[in-house]
Amino acid sequence: MPNSRDVVFVDGVRTPFGRSGPKGLYAETRADDMVVRVIRELIRRNPALPPERVDEVAIAATTQIGDQGLTIGRSAAVLAGLPKSVPGYAIDRMCAGAMTAVTTVAGGIAFGAYDVAIAGGVEHMGRHPMGEGVDPNPRFLSEKLVDPSALVMGMTAENLHDRYPEITKERADAYAVRSQEKAAKAYADGRIQPDLVPTAIRTAEKGWGLAVSDEAPRPDTTLAGLAGLKTPFRPHGHVTAGNSSGINDGATGCIVAASDVAEELGLSARMRLVSYAFAGVDPEVMGVGPIPSTERALRLAGLDVSDIGLFEVNEAFAVQVLAFLDHFGIDEEKVNPWGGAIAFGHPLASSGVRLMTQLARQFGERPDVRYGITTMCVGMGMGGTVIWENIGGNAA
């Protein structure tokens, strides 16, 4: 049996995230073309990587139909001009699709089946709303396997507010404002732009254009403005469009490789994968998923939460992030320092690699931080967590 090898994150990029709908950035842009743009940019940015050395392309999509179907990892690899010898496949774990694409190919690299792989995700929620074409088995409800609210993500967030009454709507709104403020500052400081891929867009009305920045952020968000928003999932509820991630379109991708192969090829590794874990929870409170997955990942790594200097937590809903922080007693200063999905958007299966790309960039600025976490809640009651080590760090 081969010995396990270290796996490193080499580079990550993404398209700007657009708002879904007929007026959104990508309303008339194909999902697979967004993935093609990401793959081509990864190859362009890393000329030391011969395309034929890519051993696998794993691309996630939650709704695998239409332009997100046809085994999108393989079809996008061919469309991107990678050699036909490079295989690919599609993967689905709802919101954690891209995260699972990374951990799956990383397992193959550690085992010795691959040397280098491209992993990422795409979601065109404007063309393919979450749940399009699905036919949930009636036994879920008839046999009371899940609460009816489990199938509506916003209702699961309201359930979290019920479970944690100390997380008030005011706390959730305040967290959302901070996310918008941090994202605006990160943009102003030029921290987000280096990993955005300018992406060609076209509409019948306006013709050709170029997407160069995220469409979703609302830097003028205020507590007063959020206080007056409707609560669509429950009368007099807590969850609003302002303290939740939006409905978005976008694609992400990254290069992961065996540490020794990255060194051989002259690829600059940015962080090392330490451990990862996925966990299941009751689907009706899916937002608590990152708690057990993080506990397991820490245990596998032999680390304590106090060892973690940076957290990239996907902001599906503010209440879900706050529940995670309260459980572990985490200082919010360590969390999403450049903002999160409440500002940038959450194109479901693509978001995991956005977290990783942002963490890798932060590691480059924080040599004092040794370990970081990327984590997210997942529809149908799951959580996913990956622990990374800062290769350029000097923390003992």
Entry pTM: 0.96
Active site residue 377: yes
State the average pLDDT over residues 234-257.
97
When pLDDT is averaged across residues 202-230 and rounded to a whole number, the result is 94
Query: How many CB atoms neighbour CB 148 within 10 A?
Result: 11
The two tokens of residue 47 are: 């000329």
pLDDT band for 100, please (50, 70, 90 cuts). very high
**Domain 7-126+246-389 carries which CATH code?**
3.40.47.10
Given 128, 161, 238, 377, which residue is catalytic? 377
pLDDT in tens, 102-111: 999 999 999 9
124, 128, 161, 346: the catalytic one is 346
pLDDT digits (tens, 9 = 90+) for 20-55: 999 999 999 999 999 999 999 999 999 999 999 999
| Structure token pair of residue 334 | 């360590």
Q: In this model, does residue 392 exceed pLDDT 80? A: no
118-129 pLDDT, tens digit each: 999 999 999 999
- Tell me: pLDDT of 1 over 50: no
Active-site hit among 95, 124, 128, 238: 95
pLDDT value at residue 394:
59
Domain locations along the chain: 7-126+246-389
Q: What is the SS3 assignment for 125-168?
A: CCCCCCCCCCCCCCHHHHCCCCCHHHHCHHHHHHHHHHHCCCCC
Q: Does position 75 have pLDDT exceeding 50, yes or no?
A: yes
346 is catalytic: yes
Q: Which residue has the tokens 């480059």?
A: 364
254 is catalytic: no
**Interval 341-351: pLDDT, tens:** 999 999 999 99
Q: For position 40, what pLDDT does the model report?
A: 98
Taking each helix axis from N to C terminus, what angle separates 318-328 and 169-188, rounded to the nearest 10 degrees? 100
Nearest to 320 by CA among 356, 346, 358: 346
Question: What is d(CA 275, CA 353) in angstroms, rounded to the nearest whole number?
Answer: 16
**Residue-wise burial string across 304-341, b where 16 or more C-beta atoms lie within 10 A, e elsewhere:** eeeebbbbbbbbbbbbbbbbbbebbebeeeebbbbbbb
**Which segments of 197-356 are extended strands (E)?**
199-203, 207-211, 248-258, 271-280, 308-313
Query: Given the DSSP bridges, would you call strands 371-378 and 308-313 parallel, antiparallel or unpaired?
Result: parallel
Res 131: pLDDT: 85
**Residue 339: phi, psi to the nearest 5?**
90, 170
